[in-house]
Amino acid sequence: MRVGILTGGGDCPGLNAVIRAVVRVGLGYGHEHVGIRRGWRGLLEGTTIPLDMRSVSGILPRGGTILGTSRTNPYKRDGGPEQCMRMMGELGLDALVAIGGEDTLGVADKLHKEHGMKVVGVPKTIDNDLSGTDFTFGFDTAVQIATEAIDRLHTTAESHDRVMVCEVMGRHAGWIALYAGLAGGADQILIPERPANVADVIETVLARHRRGKDFSIIVVSEGVVLDQDQLQEAELDEFGHPRLSQGSVGERLGQHIKDKTGFDTRVTVLGHIQRGGTPTAHDRVLSTRFGANAARLVEKGRFGHMVALRGNEIVDVPLADAVAELKTVPDAVFRIAEPFFG
Ligand code: F6P
């Protein structure tokens, strides 16, 4: 079988480890592999690189993706889906492994259902907001980076009696903020799933001061909307997601805290630091297990499915399960953090 591999959407630590595992395990089945450049854009344009034992050598610990990525949506191009199918034929591909998040896998699901594309999915996102799997690879690395940052902010906050606001990624789901906030002992965590009441945050900070704690650490997801915010129209990407880089919720929250308390308040926006660089050992192992099982799904002809983690087992689920709805933080899970606030 000749198998194409593509990575789509935002990059994520562990993508290369997946590519390596698909190739190494696939070679054992007698598959040959073709790397599609820059996500769905590469399939539309037919831009590829050879993928063999040699080209995946040494990439296990490397961040990013050797294939490149994009947020191109073939369904936003005239004749895009048909062009993808035509290219599958022209490149002589018998199957495709699509490594991506909700958007990339949503396209894979549609191409499978509407055009019979022989595609297998691998769930990727640092945000961990994909349904159908307990965890996505990349999340552990992002949490580790954010936790280390919070630990570092703690010591400088304490030395200077400062309020430190730490903004982490998480457009629609607060998993990174919750896990890193819990691990780093944050005094307040704000996530997009819950109303963000600025007065409550300020009261938390003031209460800490009243009991002699002159510093505070507030962790906020980038996707949080503050109750004091004026809603503005954000620019949308090809999948209809707002681009959040136009202003930082952390900066706005920090300003409110400073204005209302007079305390010295500083803001750190972690941004793409959380997405770049080498994956944790946990993510390397998860990516390798996902990639190896994706090669097995191709071999078995389980198209229209995605590999997933359930408990500690790798299973496969229909792509539709992964993209039906976003996996946001349930209230009961968030409540685990609440006793540690303040
Ligand atoms: O979906 C992953 C993610 O890292 C989000 O947390 C973030 O909002 C978004 O991608 C940013 O993407 P980019 O900088 O690639 O536009």
Q: Any idea which residue has 């690879």 for tokens? A: 137
Does the CB atom of residue 71 touch ligand 1 within 6 A?
no
pLDDT digits (tens, 9 = 90+) for 55-89: 999 999 999 999 999 999 999 999 999 999 999 99
Q: pLDDT band at 50, cuts 50/70/90?
A: very high
What pLDDT sits at residue 228? Answer: 79
Mark whether 186 and 270 lie in a shared domain: yes
pLDDT interval class at 33 (50, 70, 90): very high
Q: Is 0.75 surpassed by the pTM of this model?
A: yes
pLDDT at position 154: 97
User: pLDDT at residue 232 above 60?
Assistant: no
What is residue 241's predicted lDDT score, i.e. its pLDDT? 78
Residue count (the chain): 342
State mean pLDDT over 122-138: 97
pLDDT band at 240 (very low <50, low <70, confident <90, very high): confident
The domain boundary residue, chosen from 276, 297, 332: 276
How far is Cα 217 from Cα 213, in angstroms, rounded to an integer? 11
Domain count, the chain: 2
- In the reported structure, the alpha carbon of residue 222 is separated from the centroid of ligand 1 by a whole-number distance in angstroms of 10
Alpha-carbon distance 16 to 309, whole Å? Answer: 19
Contact 139, 124 (CB under 8 A): no
Q: Determine the structural domain holding residue 272 and report its residue range.
A: 139-276
Domain boundary among 247, 276, 305: 276
Whether 167 lines ligand 1, by a CB cut-off of 6 Å, is: no
pLDDT(282) > 70: yes
- DSSP state, 163? E
Query: What angle, 0 to 180 degrees and rounded to 10, lies between the N-to-C axes of helices 198-210 and 249-261?
Result: 50
What mean pLDDT is predicted for residues 25-47?
Answer: 98
**Residue 305 in contact with ligand 1 by CB distance below 6 A:** no
Ligand 1 centre distance from Cα of residue 277 (Å): 15
Phi, psi of 70 (to 5 degrees): -160, 170
Give yes or no: 331 in active site: no
pLDDT band at 239 (very low <50, low <70, confident <90, very high): confident
Planar angle of CA 207, 181, 177, nearest 5 degrees: 120
Asked whether residue 114 falls in the same domain as residue 38, the answer is yes
Check which CATH number belongs to the domain holding 174 and give it: 3.40.50.460
Residue 170 Cβ inside 6 Å of ligand 1? The answer reads yes
The mean pLDDT of the chain is 95
Q: Do residue 205 and residue 294 come from a single domain?
A: no
| Any ligand 1 atom below 6 A from CB of 327 | no
Q: Are residues 269 and 154 in the same domain?
A: yes
- pLDDT bracket for residue 3 (50, 70, 90): very high
Asked if residue 334 belongs to a domain, the reply is no
Domain presence at residue 336: no
Distance (angstroms) between ligand 1 centre and the Cα of 10 equals: 6
On the question of pLDDT at 255 being above 70, the answer is yes
Per-residue DSSP letter, 55:
T
Specify whether 272 is located in the same domain as 172: yes
The pLDDT tens digits of the residues spanning 290-320 come to 999 999 999 999 999 999 999 999 999 999 9
Q: Which helix or strand (DSSP H or E) is residue 182 part of?
A: helix 175-184
Annotated catalytic residue, options 11, 103, 109, 127:
127
User: Which residue minimizes the CA distance to atom 15 of ligand 1?
Assistant: 10
144 and 112 fall within a common domain: no
| Best probe residue, ligand 1, of 136, 275, 326, 329 (max atoms within 8 Å of C-beta) | 275
Per-residue confidence band for 247, with pLDDT thresholds at 50, 70 and 90: low
Do residues 111 and 236 share a domain?
no
Is residue 29 in some structural domain?
yes
CATH code, domain carrying 129:
3.40.50.450
Alpha helix stretches (DSSP H) within 91-174:
102-115, 139-160
Ligand 1 centroid–CA 129 distance in Å is 12
Percentage above 70 pLDDT, the chain = 96
pLDDT digits (tens, 9 = 90+) for 184-201: 999 999 999 998 999 999
Q: What is the pLDDT of residue 195?
A: 87
Mean pLDDT for the stretch of residues 102-123: 98
Given phi > 0 = left and psi -120 to 50 = alpha, else beta, which region is 73?
Answer: beta
- Is the distance from the beta carbon of residue 127 to the nearest atom of ligand 1 less than 6 Å? yes
Q: Are residues 151 and 246 in the same domain?
A: yes
pLDDT at 189: 98
